């Protein structure tokens, strides 16, 4: 059994990549739950703006926490870089899928993702030290 577990399970050792994987997992899960609410309730598409921002905030913070926890030091740095990459990927997806133009608002959102990821990274480093 140990032999099988050794080949099936893997761990992402790069803290930034691990944070991005967790951030995108939570973004996909949140988007799925939000789409279920849209389908099963009277929620309208124009009401989704606030909820999508909440999902992105939560995802960036969780990505920063995982990044900071995996790095063990410089949590604000690793979490901030994770937040920047998360924000850039979201802007690129919006640019390619929805044909949005890149504006100053997108640069501001990437800055907010940096701050949220950095805060998450600071919490993540402290979570690692307490365990």
Instruction: Determine contact, residues 82/116, Cβ cutoff 8 Å.
Output: no
In a domain, 47, yes or no: no
In a domain? residue 29: no
d(CA 125, CA 84): 18
Domain containing 62: what range?
A: 55-131
Please tell me what DSSP assigns to residue 73. Answer: S
pLDDT of 86: 94
Write down the pLDDT at residue 116. Answer: 95
From the first residue on, what is the mean pLDDT of each consecutive set of 10 residues in the chain (131 residues)?
A: 60 86 94 90 81 93 93 89 94 84 88 94 81 55
Q: Which of these, 14, 33, 36, lies nearest to 85 by C-alpha position? A: 14
Does a structural domain hold residue 82? Answer: yes
Is residue 9 in some structural domain? Answer: no
Domain count, the chain: 1
């Amino acid at each position: 059994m140990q032999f099988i577990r050794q080949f099936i399970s893997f761990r992402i050792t790069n803290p930034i990549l691990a944070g991005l994987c967790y951030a995108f997992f939570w973004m996909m899960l949140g988007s799925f739950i939000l789409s279920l609410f849209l389908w099963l309730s009277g929620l309208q598409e124009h009401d989704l703006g606030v909820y999508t921002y909440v999902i992105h905030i939560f995802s960036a913070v969780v990505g920063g926490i995982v990044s900071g926890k995996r790095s063990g030091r410089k949590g604000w740095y690793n979490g901030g870089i994770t937040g920047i990459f998360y924000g850039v990927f979201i802007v690129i997806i919006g640019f390619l899928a929805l044909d949005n133009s890149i504006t100053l608002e997108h640069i501001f959102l990437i800055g907010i993702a940096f701050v949220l990821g950095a805060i998450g990274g600071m919490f993540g480093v402290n979570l690692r030290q307490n365990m």
